[in-house]
Structure 1
Amino acid sequence: MKTFKKIVYWSLIIFAVIQFIPVDRTLKPVNQQENFVTVFNTPKNVQQILKKACYDCHSNETVYPKYAYVAPISWSVQHHINEGREHLNFSEWGKFNSDLKRNMLENSINAVKDYSMPFPGYVAQHPEANLTKAERVLLVNYFEEILKSGKY
């Protein structure tokens, strides 16, 4: 029993100490001239889908949930956000070259079609991000229209 109390005690100490390890949650300002929804004058219904299912990880407009402020969960959340922005950042769309934009659109189409996005772990914590079949079709069609136009 003495050993168990020591384990609990030190576990609590470690948990308290790791709360002081910082996670950079700084959001870059969004230049609307580079923002995907502005560049394409995206219809409101598509904007709503993007905002609820994509923007937390794929933009500079992340809304951090309360659990994202507790280590070690905060580390995992920030890692996923950084990785998401690395693959596609809607807030910085205007900065990318056309080959990269085409590639991001193609990857987005595939990810939405095969249900790998939004990320299942994200959907588990954000049920509103679970896209319906109709929303997926709408998003895929929208991205495909942009691809076909060649004006990305």
Structure 2
Amino acid sequence: MKKVIIVILVAFIMIQFFPIDTTNPPPTPGMDFLKIKNAPEKIARTLRTSCYDCHSNETKYPWYSKISPVSWWVKNHINEGRKHLNFSTFAVYEPKRQLHKLEECIEMVEKKEMPLESYYLGHQSAKLSDEQRTDLIQYFKKVKEDTERGIMFNK
């Protein structure tokens, strides 16, 4: 039993030599959702607190993201989040794709699927109140309508 514990401890120490990359891509203010959609401060604050760590290039890595293997799990969540929706590069999406992303945002917030429950473990401030959910949903719907009008106007 003692040998097993030693092997596990040595393995744990060894994996610490393989840290995740915690650098963020450079900011692109002209492509960021909050800027191009002129988000009100209240909405911007909510999105930055509850969404931007996983869905932007502005991730703030918590202390536990420096400890393997937890760091690998955190980095995977961030990579997946950015792959599905990256607010930092929202302007590069074609208008129809923006509409689809906005529909997904509405759906995920309505169904309380975002933010993930696991995210709350280290980020209690990210938990959305009913009022914040309502505000986000209404805002996303307004942006979606504006985007639809823009698509129709440009036809």
| TM-score normalised over the length of structure 1 | 0.95
Structure 2 partner of 1:77 = 74
The residue type equivalent to 2:44 in the other structure is Q
The equivalences for 1:1-152 within 5 A come to 4-149=1-146, 150=148, 151=150
Shift of 1:117: 0.1
- Cα distance between partner residues in 1 of 2:109 and 2:58: 20
CA offset digits 1:82-114 (Å, max 9, x no partner): 000000000001111112111110001000000
CA offset digits 1:103-148 (Å, max 9, x no partner): 1100010000000100110012211000000000000000000111
When the two chains are superposed, the root-mean-square deviation of aligned CA atoms in Å is 1.1
Does the 8 A contact of 2:57 with 2:88 survive in 1?
yes
Where structure 2 has 5 or more consecutive residues not aligned to the other structure, the ranges are none
Where structure 1 has 5 or more consecutive residues not aligned to the other structure, the ranges are none
| TM-score normalised over the length of structure 2 | 0.93
Shift of 1:36: 0.5
Q: Which runs of 4+ in 1 moved over 4 A?
A: none
The SS at the match of 2:29 is: coil
Does the 8 A contact of 2:19 with 2:68 survive in 1?
no
Does the 8 A contact of 2:55 with 2:82 survive in 1?
yes
The residue type equivalent to 1:100 in the other structure is R
CA offset digits 1:25-47 (Å, max 9, x no partner): 22011111001111011100000
Q: Percent identity?
A: 38
Shift of 1:70: 0.4
Aligned length: 149
